[in-house]
Amino acid sequence: MSVSYRIPDLEPEACHRCEEIVRRSRFIISLAHTPNPDAAKAFVERIKREFPDATHNCWAYAAGAPGQTGKVGYSDDGEPHGTAGRPMLTMLLHGGVGELAAVVTRYFGGIKLGTGGLVRAYQGMVRLGLETLPTREHMIPARVEVVLDYPHITVFRRLLPDFRATVDSETFGVDATYQLLLPDQNIPALEAALTELTDGAVLVTRLDDEEPASGHS
């Protein structure tokens, strides 16, 4: 089954940025679309190079789907333990946006904020960034396997764009076997078209649930 969630609607290498003064300290939030941990770490290093004279460049990333904790990381970057990176990560995990990295740059203004004040400041910057971040829907497609006879291959491949289907792999044995990626809601229509094309001599299997959708007649 295909799933979808919101991700940042940003060009590669672009970032979304907001700024705020909190008790004379200058806080800058930079957000980027980072589809994996390596991209997130590279983004953090890029922001550190951009603001090398900052007092702190605290960061957090959640590089998976919203709320998933398998691809996360964070750092307080010299702020008191637990006052920056972890609170930032909490905001990212509950923000409803996936594949996202955040760096909050701080220039100290001479007034200490205290533990609670730091947590509120860093969480507040992530909240500010999320409120103004452009997002778009990201779909993870469903995967199906199609087995059909060779005479039908040419017409079969011509059908695929109509159903937003792409070929992920193909194997040629007694029959031709294709693994396709496409929106879940398009599978029934594709199956119907293939059944008509082959007079029922096609096998369509949803690989996420491994239940055949149709069979050879």
Is the pTM higher than 0.75? no
Identify the CA nearest to 205 among candidates 151, 153, 141, 147: 147
- Cβ neighbours around 184 below 10 Å, total: 18
CB 4, CB 98: distance < 8 Å: no
**Looking at the predicted structure, is the pLDDT value of residue 115 above 50?**
yes
CA atoms within 13 A on the CB side of 25: 22
Identify the CA nearest to 20 among candidates 91, 106, 81: 106
56-72 pLDDT, tens digit each: 999 999 999 899 999 99
Alpha-carbon span 217 to 215, nearest angstrom: 6
Question: Side chain identity at 141, as an amino acid letter?
Answer: P
116-158 pLDDT, tens digit each: 999 999 999 999 999 999 999 888 788 999 999 999 999 999 9
Alpha-carbon span 109 to 25, nearest angstrom: 4
155-168 pLDDT, tens digit each: 999 999 999 899 99
Which domains are assigned to the chain?
3-138 (3.30.230.30), 141-214 (3.30.70.240)
